[in-house]
Structure 1
Amino acid sequence: MSRPRLLIDGDTLKLEEILQVARHTVTVELTPAAAARVKAARELVDRVAAGDAPSYGINTGFGTLAEVRIEKKDLRELQRNLILSHAAGVGSPLPLPEARVLLLLRCNVLAKGYSGIRPETLALALEMLNRDVVPVVPERGSVGASGDLAPLAHLALVFIGEGEAFYQGERLPGGQALERAGLKPVVLEAKEGLALVNGTQAMCAVGTLLQLRAEMLAELADLAGAMTLEGLLGSHKPFIPEIQEVRAHEGQKACAAHLRELLADSALVETHANCSKVQDPYSLRCMPQVHGAAREGLAFARRILEVEVNSATDNPLVFVETERIVSGGNFHGQPVSLALDVAAMALTQLSAISERRVEQLVNPSLSGFRRSWRRTRGSTRAS
């Protein structure tokens, strides 16, 4: 049975669609408009490569060797050597879902039409994704400030028949994995190696799946908190709209509304609505404030990731309209790293307040509940 199609164009990819690719439940295809942009950008690169004017990464060296001119006969070797020299990652491979997303995100960047990749090279990447040829990419080695050079180089190794890949879950040499899938490696032309290794797609692959899990955990934190409130016979009054409106953070309001919804039919909460207890501990009473702040931190991270997964992060960039190939700094990972730091802090705070609620539940001196059982010499008896 054929899978649903996901059309990518470099501009409109959603985080939820990325999750579908991570689970290998869709077939990814290029839109016609994106295919036309890719073709036009490649034609410009070919014209520059055929000329004599120096252009970074096309007919020059890289980094501190940018002033070194490369002969036309050596342009293919330059791109191949770039991939081989930067594939220096270490550690365990990325999990298959993250590695699939890495491949998808690189395809999406190439689809924007600012990289100068050949259409046939992008076509190979898409076929690898759809036939479940997933490059083995070590977890460690990315610098970040220079983009994800090492992870993307390991990704690109398989394009040229090198490295390793998982094919339908089996780890194989890269060339063998392609052959099993009925695919052939490519020979990289001018700029193509650089077009494959410049970008932030590894950090975005890991970050996107983390973000989606974190958002799910934020919802579950509200549910766990509401259940704890019931178990500890706490009050729902701190969640009333009036309190939230006078400190109108959107995350706080959303969390309080969610808690009110969860507790709306709670018989336990209603049984002690008028009890003599003045107020609950912070870990119950301040859920809207703490959970809400975490929600806003995660919302910030989502906004950054949604922009980044649809961004051109190459250097140099190919601008067809003005026929210019321009060096810049879009490969720098700072926006993503800050966003993921914020997401990590948000999850830390959710974990901390959850741990305090667990302590409230299991510590009789805090919960007010008598310990009903105790263990004596291997047996259990009521106390």
Structure 2
Amino acid sequence: MTVELDGDSLTIDDVAAVARDGQAVSITPEARERVRASRERVEDVLEAGDPVYGVNTGFGELVDERIPRTALSELQTNLLRSHAAGSGRHLEREAVRAMLVTRLNALLKGYSGIRLEVLETLAAFLNEPVHPVVPSRGSLGASGDLAPLAHLALVLIGEGEATVPTGENGDGDGVRRLPGDEALAAVGLEPLELRAKEGLALINGTQMTLGLAALLVTDAEQCCRAADVAGALTTEVTMGTTAACAEPLHDVRPHGGQAESARVVRQVTAGSAVVESHRNCDRVQDAYSIRCLPQIHGAVRDAVAHLREAVAVELNSVTDNPLVFPRAALDDRASGTDRAAVVSGGNFHGAPLAHRLDYLIAALTDLAAVAERRIDRLLNPNLQESHLPPFLARESGVESGLMIVQYTAASLVAECRSVGRAGTDTVPVSGGQEDHVSMSATAAVNARRVLERTRQVIAAELRCGVEAADYVDETLGAGTDDVYETVRTVVPPLSGDRRPDRDVTAVEALIADGLLDETIEPHLE
């Protein structure tokens, strides 16, 4: 299957398909024509000879430096070299592919003045594949994700580094890391010589932030579903009630996420003899971590939806600078010629994503925190129902059971809480010309870290919930019973103390690989 790129209709699911499933891409004829027209406008500006930022001037604080036409290609090459100043561990394959597809789609909008030949080579990077080696640190998220995108773009000119598949015709099982020119040669491509404005068009965008954010939306939505199911199972095995998930209750406080989480709990516990037998029990109310599950989880769902909204807009937006328009689209105050207008603006600024990513960090941290509280209710002998042994150990005292799983969950929650708000930070750069930056890429990296820790806490709750289910005589709901069976395919019951870390890791893989989603899907209307 191929994802068609036209600059207008890229979705979050498309990004995940290209980044994670390795789907190929193609460029539509309409997008090709827009790119050609945009490049013609740049050539028109060059012929006129007037100073235009990014076309024939220096960059940042050097904006007033006029560049002779004979040096314009060198200017673009030097831009990539000088801006490839990233550091830290390298981005994973899926993150690099997400960057590639989102940058390519933005350039296909036809406002960046880049040649079609360059974009066809970016498409080839995805299809061959050639994956540039990109350090994960160094972006300020203003003037775009400059350093990461510079490392990505260097491979176009035969510099930098990239990985390519091993074996003839790329049919090997591994990858080779090669210098840029050798990586291109390995797949039959030639290095490009950049022309006026092209280097700037390649690196002036939000695509590291955006690529990571698109994948985060997918993963965070998956985490929310897993948390709903884990909480539903905990509700059952602690002899709780799902009455707090009743539809009329949420109709009178109609937040979308709250209603959705309540619906998931109701549907996966449908037919539960445990829930039915405790419908009229002596317990008046469950603890907040169970009774308020829809409200807490639902608020997290709403935070994810807030990020999804921004990502959907950003995927089909133009985020570089300056932008090239037909003269008829703008007034005479814009630089350019009778045919073309070049406008300097700030679409590269990552604030629209940075603040929502920070919001996601806070929301996911709360999701991890409430899951940790439910783990404690499953293990803590001072809180447990009498049918559950302390720490779910088969022989309490001699054995510790799953006691330390809660320790680890508490540690993971503490780590999530320690992650700061990057989107409200700023450090002036470029001699003060760029005096307020977004730190959006840092926010995206932080959010990914928090999501991974949150997923681990949810996996820990599922692992403990399944163990507790073995002490429940009544049948579980149809959905939670299927979840029990799925988890048991990778985690056998305790027969004595053993390392719990492998169990939790196996459950986390069920979540990350989508197997838990597959298990519960038939039970959700």
**Would you call these one fold, judging by a TM-score over 0.5?**
yes
Work out the CA distance in 1 between the residues paired with 2:23 and 2:399.
58
Work out the CA distance in 2 between the residues paired with 1:337 and 1:377.
46
Work out the CA distance in 1 between the residues paired with 2:97 and 2:385.
50
SS of alignment partner, residue 10 of structure 2 = coil
Work out the CA distance in 1 between the residues paired with 2:365 and 2:244.
23
- Among 47, 57, 61, which residue is 2:58 paired with? 61
Q: After TM superposition, give the deviation of residue 50 of structure 1 in Å.
A: 2.2
Work out the CA distance in 1 between the residues paired with 2:280 and 2:180.
69
Q: After TM superposition, give the deviation of residue 186 of structure 1 in Å.
A: 0.4
- Among 158, 167, 177, which residue is 1:171 paired with? 177
Give, as a single letter, the amino acid of the residue that structure 1 aligns with 2:20: R
How has the CA–CA distance of structure 1 residues 277 and 84 changed in structure 2, closer, same or farther, with 3 Å as cutoff? same
Deviations 1:268-306 (A, max 9, x none): 111111101000000000001000000000000000011
Work out the CA distance in 2 between the residues paired with 1:336 and 1:374.
49
2:210 corresponds in structure 1 to 204
Q: After TM superposition, give the deviation of residue 30 of structure 1 in Å.
A: 0.6
Deviations 1:216-260 (A, max 9, x none): 010010000000001000011111122112212111111111111
Residue 350 (structure 1) aligned with residue 367 (structure 2): yes
1:220 corresponds in structure 2 to 226
Residue 309 (structure 1) aligned with residue 324 (structure 2): no
Work out the CA distance in 1 between the residues paired with 2:327 and 2:244.
58
1:185 corresponds in structure 2 to 191
Deviations 1:178-231 (A, max 9, x none): 000110110000000000010100011111112211110100100000000010
Q: After TM superposition, give the deviation of residue 368 of structure 1 in Å.
A: 2.4
Q: After TM superposition, give the deviation of residue 267 of structure 1 in Å.
A: 1.2
C-alpha contact (below 8 Å) 1:76/1:190 kept by paired residues: yes
State which drifts further: 285-294 or 252-261. 252-261
- TM-score, length-scaled by structure 1: 0.96
Report sequence identity in percent.
Answer: 49
Work out the CA distance in 2 between the residues paired with 1:289 and 1:272.
22
Work out the CA distance in 1 between the residues paired with 2:327 and 2:282.
73
Give, as a single letter, the amino acid of the residue that structure 2 aligns with 1:204: L
Question: What are the within-5 Å matches in structure 2 for residues 122-133 of structure 1?
Answer: 122-133=119-130
Residue 90 (structure 1) aligned with residue 87 (structure 2): yes
1:341 corresponds in structure 2 to 358
SS of alignment partner, residue 361 of structure 1 = helix
Residue 291 (structure 1) aligned with residue 297 (structure 2): yes
Q: After TM superposition, give the deviation of residue 377 of structure 1 in Å.
A: 9.3
SS of alignment partner, residue 145 of structure 1 = coil
Work out the CA distance in 1 between the residues paired with 2:285 and 2:399.
40
- TM-score, length-scaled by structure 2: 0.70
Work out the CA distance in 1 between the residues paired with 2:60 and 2:47.
22
Work out the CA distance in 1 between the residues paired with 2:360 and 2:312.
14
How has the CA–CA distance of structure 1 residues 317 and 258 changed in structure 2, closer, same or farther, with 3 Å as cutoff? same
State which drifts further: 242-251 or 65-74. 242-251
1:134 corresponds in structure 2 to 131
C-alpha contact (below 8 Å) 1:294/1:346 kept by paired residues: yes
SS of alignment partner, residue 319 of structure 1 = strand
* Structure 1: unaligned runs, 5 residues or longer: none
Give, as a single letter, the amino acid of the residue that structure 2 aligns with 1:355: E
Work out the CA distance in 2 between the residues paired with 1:307 and 1:41.
22
Residue 110 (structure 1) aligned with residue 107 (structure 2): yes
C-alpha contact (below 8 Å) 2:325/2:341 kept by paired residues: yes
Deviations 1:19-39 (A, max 9, x none): 111124322011111000000
Q: After TM superposition, give the deviation of residue 321 of structure 1 in Å.
A: 5.6
Work out the CA distance in 2 between the residues paired with 1:91 and 1:27.
29
Residue 241 (structure 1) aligned with residue 263 (structure 2): no
Q: After TM superposition, give the deviation of residue 154 of structure 1 in Å.
A: 0.5
